[in-house]
Amino acid sequence: MRTHQREIVVSVIALVVMSLAILSYIRSVEKEKQSAGTDLFQLVAPDPDALLAVNRPSIVTRMILNQKSLYSAFSSGLPPVFLSLIKESHEGRMIFSFHPQGIVCYMKADGREVRSIEENVLQKRFGGYAPLKREKDGITYSFYAGTDSRFFGCYAYGGIWVGSYSRKLLEAVSRRQTGDGQPLPAEIGELRNAFDMNAPANILFPADDLNLYVSSDQSPEWRIRHRWLATDLFLSEGRFCCYGNLPYTSLPAVYYRSMADTLSRRVEQLYPEIHMTFQINSEENKLYYTGCAPF
C-alpha cells in the first residue's frame, strides 16, 4: 500500500514538473513572438536628431570598426560602451537614436542575450560593482556607475533591451513601448522603409547637416528642402560606400558634378578622416547618389 502511495506521489510530482516546464516553454515562445513582432523603429524616443541602424553587427565590426579611419569616424559619434555592444552583438539588428540629451541603443534580446550583455559588456566596462536597481511602472532599470561620474542605464522588457546614459530618454522609450508614448514621425517612418536592410548599416540624418545646394549664373539656387535623408552603408571592392537618393530636381546634368563635389566637401568637413567621392544620376524622378572612400 505504501509503495503504491509513493508511486502516486512521484507521478503527481512528475506531472507538476512537466506542467511547469511546458508552461515555461509556452511563455518563452510567446515572449519570442512578441519580440519578433516588435518594430524597433517604433520605439525610438521622441525628436531624434539622427538614427543609425546596424543590421549586421559582425560585418560592421570586422570590416568597418577595424579600419582606423572608419573607426575614428564611428567613435566620434558613439561612446565606447555602444561600440562594445556592436562588437559583442554578432546577430540581430541594433538601432541607435541620437538626441540632444544623449544616445539610445535598442535591440531585441532574450534572457541569454541580456545576460551576455551584462557579463561581456557592462560588467567589463563599468567594473564589478553591482548596478543600482530602480523599478518604475513595472519595468526594472539598472544603472551602472562610470568613471566620468555618469550612470549608464538600461532595461530589458518584452524581449527588447534598451540602454542610454539619459534616464529621461530611457523612460520615454519605456512609455512608448508600453503604449503611452507618441508614434514615430511619419517622414521618418516612410524613409526607413526605403532602407536596404541587407546593408551592414543605414543612417537617417538631417539634410541640413550637409547644407547641400547647387547654384550658378545660369540657374537659380537649388537646395534640399526635405528634413531627412536616408543612406545605406556598405563595402565594395575594398572601399567604404554609401548609397541613397535625393529629392528630384530638373537641373541640367552638368550641375550634378557640382552637387557631387558639394557632397564630398560636406562629408569631409564632418569627418576629415573619410575622403569620399560621389557620383549622381537621375532616374524615375529621383537623384541617386553613390559615394565611396578608400580605407
Read off the pLDDT of residues 217-249 as tens digits, 9 standing for 90 and up. Answer: 444 444 444 467 788 998 888 888 999 877 655
> Would the pLDDT of 273 be above 50?
yes
Give the per-residue pLDDT at 68: 82
Centre a 10 Å sphere on the Cβ of residue 115 and count the other Cβ atoms it contains: 12
Give the per-residue pLDDT at 187: 72
Express each pLDDT in 179-222 by its tens digit. 765 667 777 777 777 788 889 999 888 766 666 554 544 444 44
Give the per-residue pLDDT at 219: 45
Q: Which residues are CB-contacts of 134 (< 8 A; sequence separation ≥ 6)?
A: 140, 141, 143
Q: How far apart are CA 233 and CA 241, in angstroms?
A: 6
Give the per-residue pLDDT at 180: 66
pTM of this prediction exceeds 0.85 = no
Place of cell 539622427: 50
Least confident window among 8-17, 140-149, 155-164, 181-190:
8-17
- Local structure of 294: helix, strand or coil: strand
Centre a 10 Å sphere on the Cβ of residue 36 and count the other Cβ atoms it contains: 9
Give the per-residue pLDDT at 5: 53
Give the per-residue pLDDT at 132: 92
The pLDDT confidence band at residue 22, using thresholds 50, 70 and 90, is: very low
Give the per-residue pLDDT at 33: 40
Give the per-residue pLDDT at 248: 58
Q: How far apart are CA 104 and CA 153, in angstroms?
A: 10
The pLDDT confidence band at residue 274, using thresholds 50, 70 and 90, is: confident
Give the per-residue pLDDT at 204: 86
> Sheet holding 228-236: strands in order across?
132-136, 139-145, 151-157, 160-164, 102-108, 94-99, 50-54, 201-206, 228-236, 239-247, 286-294, 277-283
Torsion of CA 30, 32, 37, 38, to 10 degrees: 110
The pLDDT confidence band at residue 24, using thresholds 50, 70 and 90, is: very low
Give the per-residue pLDDT at 84: 92
Q: How far apart are CA 214 and CA 206, in angstroms?
A: 18
Express each pLDDT in 112-134 by its tens digit. 999 999 999 999 988 867 899 99
Q: Which residues are CB-contacts of 286 (< 8 A; sequence separation ≥ 6)?
A: 245, 246, 247, 248
> How much is the mean pLDDT over the chain?
78
Give the per-residue pLDDT at 90: 67
- The predicted model gives 32-52 an average pLDDT of 75
Give the per-residue pLDDT at 75: 86
Q: How far apart are CA 172 and CA 180, in angstroms?
A: 9
Give the per-residue pLDDT at 9: 47
Q: How far is CA 31 from CA 25, 36, 62, 66, 201, in A?
A: 10, 8, 31, 35, 27
Give the per-residue pLDDT at 253: 61
Side chain identity, residue 44: V
Instruction: Report DSSP letters for 55-109, one per residue.
Output: S-HHHIIIIIITSHHHHHHHHTTS-HHHHHHHHH--SS-EEEEEETTEEEEEEE-
Residue 23 is classified by DSSP as H
> Would the pLDDT of 105 be above 90?
yes
The answer to whether 291 touches 242, Cβ cutoff 8 Å, is yes
Give the per-residue pLDDT at 188: 74
Give the per-residue pLDDT at 115: 92
> Would the pLDDT of 25 be above 70?
no
N- to C-terminal Cα separation, the chain: 81
